[in-house]
Structure 1
């Protein structure tokens, strides 16, 4: 039996975003014994999308190293679907549904804002935990509100831990310029992005 001490847990919304028939659900999440703050939990999902490649381990246990995936066909399908939203809904549906069906899901037959939402949700599901979400929200001009946790007991109490909301106009959606770059690049004239 393994004991896990994850640094973070996905929200209940994230776990529920995957239908039971979605093959990604059992790959991306693991429901196993978790120890947090000396308390054992057996009913929480943790992220298991990249558990580590045994060929890259430096010891008996995982070091979570993975060979990088520079290009993924799934991302290309999602880029195609999103780009086609402004051209033709049928051209957006084709790559979206091909990806969904490859993941064990039924095709969607949506149009208008429902189709936009379907493409965005599929992108969230497919690229979860890979660092795309902040850039996606910025590109879509959307803010966010943290969703309900699976269980509040293992969480640190306090403002903004699991109740935080950020408007799309928040300057933190744009990264700050590294201090060294400001210092050595005269073209930046010592200016930082707003809010940093």
Structure 2
């Protein structure tokens, strides 16, 4: 192993720094993103532990995580004609067509980046004895937030939805809670897939610990207790526990730590977190998800904005908006490398800008729908929550609201932010001709992983 002054390190051993399950050939050098500066088996001080935690955050920024694919791939899978991938990358078009293969480099990248992040966290948690008493609980909570977030993302992508039932038998992903830092640890990574139920229990345990032990504030791009509550609300919605989802969303709203931006457009393309960003990925021209062949902005923005312009929007297929609703006109005309002329979403328009992972608007919509489904009024009347979001976009105030109306509002507000697929799955809605449990709405376990780890079983349909 060697360390470089450019804050990149290369690992030449077959360690879990890349994947906890399928490890690359030992003759390859592997570049680890800036932020994780410490060789795992050389964690000796509290500063080293903190560096490993920052490495986990850096992994979240990667295009195989929330820098692109954690948001884009669910959008492609849930597409019903509202967007079209027109670029030359066949692998992305396959996801839109629900024709992805078990050899998909995209699935492999998501899997490897996810377990690399989880391993960063497990290294942190296994070295808490090096952390001072005053900082120990906060660091543990922050690490568990990252692990809970990543396991939720992986479970959603590689397993059947919780709403499908059979959660104690349906398989998701391996649960790996021990660090892999040396050759003798490799067998710890060769685990079978855990059930959806087991993974969800671990996610909830990690996030609940984070809500209890994180502070109310943190540095931009890092989690506080409200970020944990926000992600926990998503988990509870996926599980159909709407009473708990309403309570979790309400914890965020009632904190008054966040506020809807004054206009809808100000929620996007910001150099720093907006007032409604509960958790967001930070990007700069020196640290970003990519500007050539990867990254949300790379695909979603037109060529005039330094991008490929691969994803165009069909304005006739987007959710119905009222004439005065500014969300319905948050598009612009441009072109791309393979597009002569088309419309693009304004959400991912500019390079090197913050990527919102969860916004306050979502919490209002979650609280409203959850209250409606649970028959509760936690925090506010559902109608008030829905109208608050609509008012910001100049949509007409509603006189009454149902759970279905709340869902329609969610689809309008969170379009192209990676939410639609998960909303459809928890509500057992079909994506076009594909039922919510269709095998092609679940990613394949990468063949490279099943080749290495014989305990892994492949998803049906692959």
**Change in 2 beyond 3 A, CA 1:173/1:109:** farther
Give, in whole Å, the separation in 2 of the partners of 1:38 and 1:98: 37
Give, in whole Å, the separation in 2 of the partners of 1:36 and 1:181: 34
Paired residues in the alignment total 154
Counterpart of 2:344 (choices 31, 38, 46) is 46
Counterpart of 1:169 (choices 421, 434, 437) is 437
Give, in whole Å, the separation in 2 of the partners of 1:106 and 1:24: 13
How far residue 181 of structure 1 moved from its aligned partner, in angstroms, is 5.0
Contact 2:310-2:339 within 8 A present in 1 as well: no
Moved over 6 A (4+): none
Match of 1:104 in 2: 394
Match of 2:422 in 1: 135
Give, in whole Å, the separation in 1 of the partners of 2:409 and 2:374: 19
Give, in whole Å, the separation in 2 of the partners of 1:38 and 1:105: 32
Gap runs ≥5 in structure 2 = 1-301
Structure 2 residue 366 is the aligned partner of structure 1 residue 79: yes
Normalised TM-score (structure 1): 0.64
Q: Deviations over 1:124-151 (max 9, x none)?
A: 1111111111111111111122xxxxxx
**Change in 2 beyond 3 A, CA 1:140/1:38:** closer
**Change in 2 beyond 3 A, CA 1:174/1:110:** farther
Contact 2:309-2:335 within 8 A present in 1 as well: yes
Normalised TM-score (structure 2): 0.30
Say which SS state the counterpart of residue 344 (structure 2) adopts: strand
Structure 2 residue 317 is the aligned partner of structure 1 residue 13: yes
How far residue 80 of structure 1 moved from its aligned partner, in angstroms, is 0.8
**Change in 2 beyond 3 A, CA 1:89/1:67:** same
Give, in whole Å, the separation in 2 of the partners of 1:38 and 1:141: 35
Larger gyration radius, structure 1 or structure 2? 2
Contact 1:138-1:173 within 8 A present in 2 as well: no
Q: Deviations over 1:81-125 (max 9, x none)?
A: 2211222387332211211112211222345xxx22211111111
How far residue 9 of structure 1 moved from its aligned partner, in angstroms, is 2.2
**Change in 2 beyond 3 A, CA 1:68/1:49:** closer
**Change in 2 beyond 3 A, CA 1:47/1:70:** closer
Say which SS state the counterpart of residue 412 (structure 2) adopts: helix
Match of 1:190 in 2: 456
Contact 2:331-2:345 within 8 A present in 1 as well: yes
**Change in 2 beyond 3 A, CA 1:38/1:51:** closer
Match of 2:77 in 1: none
Q: CA RMSD in A?
A: 2.9
Structure 2 residue 385 is the aligned partner of structure 1 residue 95: yes
Give, in whole Å, the separation in 2 of the partners of 1:19 and 1:193: 41
Higher relative helix content = 2
> Whose relative contact order is higher, 1 or 2, with alpha carbons under 8 Å and at least 6 apart?
2
